[in-house]
Amino acid sequence: MSQTVLEINELTKQLNRKNIVHNASFQMKKGEILGLLGPNGAGKTTTIRMIVGLIKKTSGKVYINGRDLDEEGLACKSEIGAIVENPAFYDHMSGYKNLEQYARMAKNTISKKRVDEVVELVKLTGAIHDKVKKYSLGMKQRLGVAQAILHEPALLILDEPTNGLDPKGIRDLRDYLKQLADNGISTLVSSHLLSEMQLMCDRVVIMEKGKIINISNIHEEEEAEGAAGQLVALRVADSHIGLAEEAIAGFKEVTLSQRENGSVLLLKMPHDVLPELNRRLVQAGVDVFGLESRRSTLEDKFLALTSEKSDELQKEAT
């Protein structure tokens, strides 16, 4: 049986009688990377702050490795490494000196070997003896992660860690979170970008207006989709919709699932049929403006949630 590292149970935060987070519950297993996904203001940071004990919860429970945060706060906190606000460093000191300083303040002894290990893990070896004031945002972020995992926590919590990172930085982060996961460390990571979460996480918890509205297992959904065929968006010239539909009708592997904005057809089909479909469309004289795979039911769920949001904004504006 795999071990539960984090459990939150009906976690609620009320401010000025308003529920900022309302009855949020989920669990995380050892070695799992869990995404907390939601638009701005959904309550992600507030949830995280309650878990790490930066703010008081109004009600509900937090358990870290089975321990109750209310009863064994210190023991719980020693199991967590987190970057919630931007981590503060001594700018005039090297990254290495910063880590050493931090290691000295830690409750348990942290060896030099451990410091070197985390530096290597976050790929800062080449720059670790440079002063932090010379670091780029991405390097500071790596140093932040290094610092957060120095004391070998069971649970790493990162609030919007990809903010400001370039694509390579994001990929590197993904890589070392996976590496941590392989070593049994669980990571809770928040973001408002679904595409990132899909690549990074095992499961995603979707939050909206303080409530958890969905929990999805990325791998299971991907497998289910693979079996049922993928969703492909076909964009054609407006006047060629009829032609395109005819060409598609002759294809037994392809089903038309929806028409979007007039000239986009959403199709379900096995992945390997795509090139042949493209050929037949062109042969039928259809001008194809785009043929791209669409990810997932999860994306649909998330879009439904965000479009609700934009409907509301429109209502507010009128």
**Least distance between Mg ion and beta carbon 162 (Å):** 13
Binder among 12, 26, 27, 41 for ligand ATP (CB under 6 A): 41
> CA 179, CA 78: separation in Å to the nearest integer?
21
| Cβ-based nearer residue to ligand ATP, 20 or 83 | 20
**Least distance between Mg ion and beta carbon 126 (Å):** 32
Compose the 177-206 pattern: x for residues touching ligand ATP by CB under 6 A, - for all others.
Answer: ---------------x--------------
Q: Are 82 and 156 in contact (CB under 8 A)?
A: yes
Binder among 11, 32, 37, 38 for ligand ATP (CB under 6 A): 38
Q: Are 221 and 231 in contact (CB under 8 A)?
A: no
Going from the C-alpha of 155 to that of each of 85, 187, 191, the distances in angstroms are: 17, 6, 17
**Least distance between ligand ATP and beta carbon 160 (Å):** 6
> CA 175, CA 59: separation in Å to the nearest integer?
36
Within 8 A by CB and 6+ apart from 203, the residues are 32, 34, 35, 215, 216, 217, 218
Binder among 46, 65, 94, 216 for ligand ATP (CB under 6 A): 46
**Least distance between ligand ATP and beta carbon 47 (Å):** 7
155-158 vs 186-191, strand pairing mode: parallel
Binder among 8, 24, 45, 212 for ligand ATP (CB under 6 A): 45
| Interface contacts to ligand ATP, rule CB under 6 A | 15, 20, 38, 40-46, 192
